Amino acid sequence: MKILVLNCGSSSLKYQLFDMENEAVLAKGLCERIGIEGSKLKHQPACQDDVIFEDYLEDHDVAVKKVMEALTNPEYGVVKSMKEINAVGHRVVHGGEYFAGSVIIDDAVKDALEKCSELAPLHNPANLIGIAACEKLMPGVAQVGVFDTAFHQTMPERAYLYAIPYEYYEKYKIRRYGFHGTSHRYVSEEAARMLERPYEQTKTITCHLGNGGSICAVRNGKSIDTTMGFTPLEGLVMGTRAGDVDAAVITFLMEKEKLTPQEMDNILNKKSGVLGISGVSSDFRDIEDASEHGNARAEAALDVFAYKVAKRIGAYAAAMNGVDCIVFTAGLGENSGSTRRLICDYLGYLGVHIDSYNNSLRGKAMEISASDSRVRVLVIPTNEELVIARDTKELLDK
Ligand code: AMP
């Protein structure tokens, strides 16, 4: 069975084609600047060189068509015809309270996604456009939606209710939803497998630390709390996102600086985080570099970041009445031994001890805790596309 996984952003489209016989990636690629001058498609077949097309991609229909041409091209394609593709799995950002798992997309699902668009105005409309493009260009091929929010639908009310008037939850569905669910699910399952423990009897704290970051408390295979909230702005300090701030700061700043809601939103989402504190960059590599060269604000940014992660790990150990393992994943979590060290240095009271040599390695799933560590600490590269492909296959097999 061959499954195409699509991740549509407002001006981008990422894809991976899987052969589910052995879960091999046959090809992957990225369309950028859809609808903007300078668009391009980078196609990466598994056993050949990358191919770059610089044609204008007017909209997502054109981009999907171009991807299909690349996948079926006699020279650098990986299938003879699109008929070989059995299903398409779509990454969908927001499933609201409608979806606690992945689903085959039909009209009712699309209606629900439309309703969730208000909650994720930058993402869900793009996901719907991608679904429509596939329906048009691959008629009769099953489409599956896999939601970033679904894994967190098991959170209890005490974790998802905000202490604002209840009517706003009823009226606007304002509550914690959580994101990166596909990643938290994948790495927590992988952790249990690596530690040879039953997933249903393991308390795991998963730290997805990339440009966006979130932490999840996974008790016995279920998300019971997570740091992102109503939107992906809440929680940790991120590349450009502020994470938690006293809500009063926002009204104060809006008054002082005469800011519109859009301008305030832009500051919190695009100009804050480690970029805002350091003034250097949103990229942790640049900040680590600046800090090593004595830049005090870069050092402060890393310090604030790691302190907040460590506090949340402590909070989730309390929420689960213990923790068996901590997992680091995503760009920073997988690659930055120094950040993992900064965080784990706060966790001595939990009995966390890091093995310096293993913590300096990169590029594969591994344990970085020392043999005397009471809590096992793992680095696991995330693979959201594989989860989407697996869910799609499972729904089709049913
Ligand atoms: P992601 O959003 O998961 O792609 O992660 C992107 C972030 O990972 C970037 O902001 C980088 O700062 C960070 N990152 C990637 N590689 C490294 C590295 N070797 N050292 C430190 N940070 C890294």
Give me the pLDDT at residue 318, please: 98
361 contacts 352 by C-beta, under 8 angstroms: no
- State the CB neighbour count (10 A cutoff) for residue 20: 18
**pLDDT (tens digit, 9 = 90+) per residue, 139-153?**
999 999 999 999 999
Judged against a pLDDT cut of 80, whether residue 208 lies above it is answered with yes
Dihedrals φ, ψ of 167, to 5°?
Answer: -60, -25
79 contacts 17 by C-beta, under 8 angstroms: yes
Which of 7, 184, 332 gets mutated to test ligand 1 (max ligand atoms within 8 A of its CB)? Answer: 332
Query: In this structure, what token pair is assigned to residue 375?
Result: 């809590």
214 contacts 152 by C-beta, under 8 angstroms: no
Taking alpha carbons only, the member of 148, 220, 133, 136 closest to residue 181 is 148
Give me the pLDDT at residue 65, please: 92
E strand or H helix at 278: helix 273-278
Give the CA count within 13 Å in the CB-facing half-sphere of 90.
33
Question: Whose structure tokens read 């604030």?
Answer: 304
Instruction: Classify 288 as helix, strand or coil.
Output: helix
CA of 128 to the centre of ligand 1 (A): 29
DSSP E strands in 262-351: the ranges are: 325-329
Give me the pLDDT at residue 11, please: 86
Q: Evaluate: CB of 336 within 6 angstroms of ligand 1.
A: yes
Name the average pLDDT for the chain.
96
Q: Evaluate: CB of 138 within 6 angstroms of ligand 1.
A: no
CA of 215 to the centre of ligand 1 (A): 16
Lowest mean pLDDT among 9-13, 141-145, 301-305: 9-13
**For 40-63, what is the mean pLDDT?**
93
Give me the pLDDT at residue 123, please: 84
Q: Evaluate: CB of 285 within 6 angstroms of ligand 1.
A: yes
| Contacts of the segment 242-248: beta carbons below 8 A, 24+ positions apart | 242/268, 242/269, 242/272, 242/273, 242/276, 243/272, 243/273, 243/308, 244/308
Give me the pLDDT at residue 175, please: 97
In terms of Cβ atoms closer than 10 Å to its own Cβ (0-12, 13-18, 19+), residue 356 is exposed
Q: Evaluate: CB of 332 within 6 angstroms of ligand 1.
A: yes
Question: Which atom of ligand 1 lies closest to the CA of 282?
Answer: 10
Q: Evaluate: CB of 271 within 6 angstroms of ligand 1.
A: no
Give me the pLDDT at residue 261, please: 96
Taking alpha carbons only, the member of 306, 310, 369 closest to residue 339 is 306
Q: Evaluate: CB of 302 within 6 angstroms of ligand 1.
A: no
**For 151-159, what is the mean pLDDT?**
98
64 contacts 88 by C-beta, under 8 angstroms: no
Q: How far apart are CA 54 and CA 39, in angstroms?
A: 6
Q: Evaluate: CB of 63 within 6 angstroms of ligand 1.
A: no
Residue 363's pLDDT band (boundaries 50, 70, 90)? confident
Q: Residue 73 CA to chain centroid, in angstroms?
A: 31
E strand or H helix at 112: helix 107-116
Query: In this structure, what token pair is assigned to residue 72?
Result: 């079926």
**pLDDT (tens digit, 9 = 90+) per residue, 218-274?**
999 999 999 999 999 999 999 999 999 999 999 999 999 999 999 999 999 999 999
Q: How far apart are CA 120 and CA 123, in angstroms?
A: 5
Give me the pLDDT at residue 121, please: 81
Instruction: Classify 320 as helix, strand or coil.
Output: coil
Residue 382's pLDDT band (boundaries 50, 70, 90)? very high
Q: Could you tell me whether strands 222-226 and 376-379 are parallel, antiparallel, or unpaired per DSSP bridges?
A: unpaired
40 contacts 54 by C-beta, under 8 angstroms: yes
Q: How far apart are CA 396 and CA 394, in angstroms?
A: 5
Dihedrals φ, ψ of 222, to 5°?
Answer: -125, 140
**pLDDT (tens digit, 9 = 90+) per residue, 314-337?**
999 999 999 999 999 999 999 999
Residue 122's pLDDT band (boundaries 50, 70, 90)? confident
CA of 330 to the centre of ligand 1 (A): 7
Residue 52's pLDDT band (boundaries 50, 70, 90)? very high
**Residue nearest atom 10 of ligand 1, based on CA coordinates:** 283
Residue 42's pLDDT band (boundaries 50, 70, 90)? very high
Question: Which atom of ligand 1 lies closest to the CA of 208?
Answer: 3
Q: What proportion of the chain, given as a percentage, has pLDDT over 90? A: 91
Query: In this structure, what token pair is assigned to residue 369?
Result: 């805790």
Q: How far apart are CA 328 and CA 57, in angstroms?
A: 36
Domains of the chain and any CATH numbers = 2-147 (3.30.420.40), 197-379 (3.30.420.40)
Which of 187, 285, 309, 382 gets mutated to test ligand 1 (max ligand atoms within 8 A of its CB)? Answer: 285
**For 21-45, what is the mean pLDDT?**
95
Catalytic residues: 148
Q: What is the pTM of this model?
A: 0.95
Q: How far apart are CA 32 and CA 11, in angstroms?
A: 6
Q: Evaluate: CB of 284 within 6 angstroms of ligand 1.
A: yes
- State the CB neighbour count (10 A cutoff) for residue 369: 21
Judged against a pLDDT cut of 90, whether residue 160 lies above it is answered with yes
Instruction: Classify 146 as helix, strand or coil.
Output: strand
